Amino acid sequence: MANSLRGEVVKLYKNLLYLGRDYPKGADYFRRRLKAAFLKNKDETDPEKIKQLIARGEFVVKELEALYFLRKYRAMKQRYYSDDKP
């Protein structure tokens, strides 16, 4: 694997590890699943396949961010607006 791709993979792993701290099922659960996913593809040498895997990982990052924003939005909405309909 080229060094530039290795750097991108490490950056993606660290970013996902950081985002996993707030995962609903717990940080330990997320960390185990993340490690398993990265170890499953550790022997990949084809640069195009690695780029596809990185793109998939970045998609997961965006989905996690959307999940967290939605959770924050729901908490704020619940805090400031009542569910009582007149």
User: Per the domain annotation, does 86 fall within a domain?
Assistant: no
- 2's CB contacts (< 8 A; 6+ apart) are 47
- Separation of alpha carbons 38 and 15, rounded Å: 13
User: Per the domain annotation, does 45 fall within a domain?
Assistant: yes
- Separation of alpha carbons 24 and 71, rounded Å: 10
> Whole-model pTM?
0.76
User: Per the domain annotation, does 23 fall within a domain?
Assistant: yes
Q: What is the pLDDT of residues 2-23, one digit of tens each?
A: 567 888 999 999 999 999 888 8
Least Cα distance to 9 among 38, 43, 32 occurs for 38
Q: What is the pLDDT of residues 10-66, one digit of tens each?
A: 999 999 999 988 888 888 999 999 999 999 988 888 889 999 999 999 999 999 989
- Separation of alpha carbons 44 and 40, rounded Å: 9
Domain region containing 34: 4-81
- Separation of alpha carbons 51 and 42, rounded Å: 13
